[in-house]
């Protein structure tokens, strides 16, 4: 997918439909089309219920043109404000721009430098992170390779590998690694100037070598087709993955909502859940004796409370077994109200003559 580039969304839609041929668009077709649009147009079309793809592209055209006109009106407003301030100071107004310079596109002068070997005119763009060269038809036939670049309006630009070229500026040779991209004009980015320690002199319209102070003259022009001001190369594939899951960088102090309805709670406003008193198994009784004797040796005291089932050591007369462990559920309140456990036991044992062991 070449991306939007300098074309309109409707032209992109026609290109995508022509690639399908006789096949019908699948459910991913709309998503692929939306990914090629600028962020402001994509946000406006997010809630669109249009099912016809060509109608959706026409709606995207209106939003795309409106966004460009808004940017153009802001540029004109700043220019007219500067001219009005100049009229108030000098009392005169400068002559209007020529027809060639009044064409659509960027109006700020741009710096260009010509390669003596190939005759290519490179745009000097310090805002671009990488240097690019237009792809040839043979490069496009081979297909894109590598991660795409991003233009100033946010649209992706396909890349077709890289190429090492020897550039000659003012009889000095520079080795440059240029990325082959789907662009219309070659440009030199910050990577080229950083590798060769070159300084860009905008006022003097030249490139200066910081080591030798030798200069290479440049030319000034206005380009209406170059829209690659801040090119950003996403060479790290992990960065794209992290952008898809931004929530992992947002700290949260609340537990995630569980998918089941099971809740664990301990009621404390009523008597605890209990079982009838019964004799322990000899093995379990021996384990209980061992554990509680160890706790007594450590100096632990038996607790008191409604929600406790206490095992304690009972004092016996002479000749009785040395140690007897019994289960006692006590409720010591300020009132003389009997505990619920004793009431239940009395109700179960009343009138009985035989008891289970």
Question: What is the mean predicted confidence (pLDDT) over 239-258?
Answer: 72
| Alpha-carbon distances, residue 38 vs 8, 82, 177, 279, 292 (angstroms) | 11, 30, 29, 78, 74
Task: Please give the pLDDT value at position 255.
Answer: 61
Task: Please give the pLDDT value at position 73.
Answer: 46
Q: What is the mean pLDDT of the chain?
A: 70
Task: Please give the pLDDT value at position 220.
Answer: 87
In the chain, CATH 2.40.70.10 sits at 110-242
Quick: pLDDT tens for 272-296. Answer: 777 677 788 889 889 888 888 887 7
Per-residue pLDDT band at 192 (split at 50, 70, 90): very high
Name which of 41-45, 204-208, 214-218, 306-310 the model is least confident about: 306-310
CATH C-level class of 110-242: mainly beta
What is the SS3 string spanning 18-29? HHHCCCCCCCCH
Query: Is residue 169 pLDDT above 60, yes or no?
Result: yes
pLDDT top residue among 130 and 312: 130
Question: What is the mean predicted confidence (pLDDT) over 306-329?
Answer: 47
Quick: pLDDT tens for 1-18. Answer: 555 666 777 787 777 777
Question: What is the mean predicted confidence (pLDDT) over 147-168?
Answer: 81
Task: Please give the pLDDT value at position 342.
Answer: 52
Paired with 180 in beta bridges are 133
pLDDT top residue among 151 and 136: 136
Question: What is the mean predicted confidence (pLDDT) over 300-309?
Answer: 57
Quick: pLDDT tens for 50-81. Answer: 777 778 888 888 877 776 655 444 444 455 55
């Amino acid at each position: 997918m070449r991306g939007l580039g300098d074309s309109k969304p409707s032209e992109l839609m026609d290109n995508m439909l022509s690639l399908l041929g006789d096949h019908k668009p699948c459910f991913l077709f709309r998503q692929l089309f939306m990914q090629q649009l600028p962020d402001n147009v994509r946000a406006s079309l997010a809630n669109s219920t249009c099912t016809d793809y060509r109608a959706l592209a026409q709606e995207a055209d209106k939003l795309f043109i409106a966004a460009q006109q808004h940017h153009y009106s802001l540029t004109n407003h700043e220019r007219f404000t500067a001219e009005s301030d100049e009229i108030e100071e000098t009392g005169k107004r400068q002559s209007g721009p020529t027809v060639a310079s009044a064409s659509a596109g960027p109006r700020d002068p741009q710096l260009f430098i010509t390669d003596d070997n190939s005759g290519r005119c490179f745009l000097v763009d310090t805002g671009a992170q990488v240097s690019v060269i237009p792809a040839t038809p043979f490069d496009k036939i081979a297909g894109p390779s590598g991660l795409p670049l991003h233009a100033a309006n946010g649209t992706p630009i396909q890349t077709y590998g890289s190429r090492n070229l020897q550039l000659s500026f003012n009889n000095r040779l520079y080795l440059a690694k240029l990325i082959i991209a789907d662009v219309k004009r070659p440009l030199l980015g910050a990577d080229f100037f950083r590798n060769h320690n070159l300084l860009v002199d905008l006022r003097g319209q030249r490139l200066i070598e910081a080591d030798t102070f030798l200069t290479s003259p440049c030319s000034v022009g206005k380009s209406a087709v170059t829209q690659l001001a801040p090119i950003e190369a996403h060479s790290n594939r992990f960065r794209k993955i992290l952008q898809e899951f931004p929530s992992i960088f947002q700290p949260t102090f609340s537990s995630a909502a569980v998918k089941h309805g099971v809740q664990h709670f301990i009621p404390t406003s009523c008597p605890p859940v209990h079982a009838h008193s019964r004799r322990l198994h000899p093995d379990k009784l021996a384990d209980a004796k061992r554990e509680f004797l160890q706790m007594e040796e450590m100096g632990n005291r038996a607790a008191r409370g409604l929600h406790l089932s206490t095992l304690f050591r009972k004092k016996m007369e002479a000749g009785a077994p040395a140690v007897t462990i019994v289960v006692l559920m006590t409720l010591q309140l300020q009132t003389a109200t009997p505990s619920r456990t004793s009431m239940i036991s009395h109700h179960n044992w009343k009138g009985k003559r035989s008891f289970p062991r």
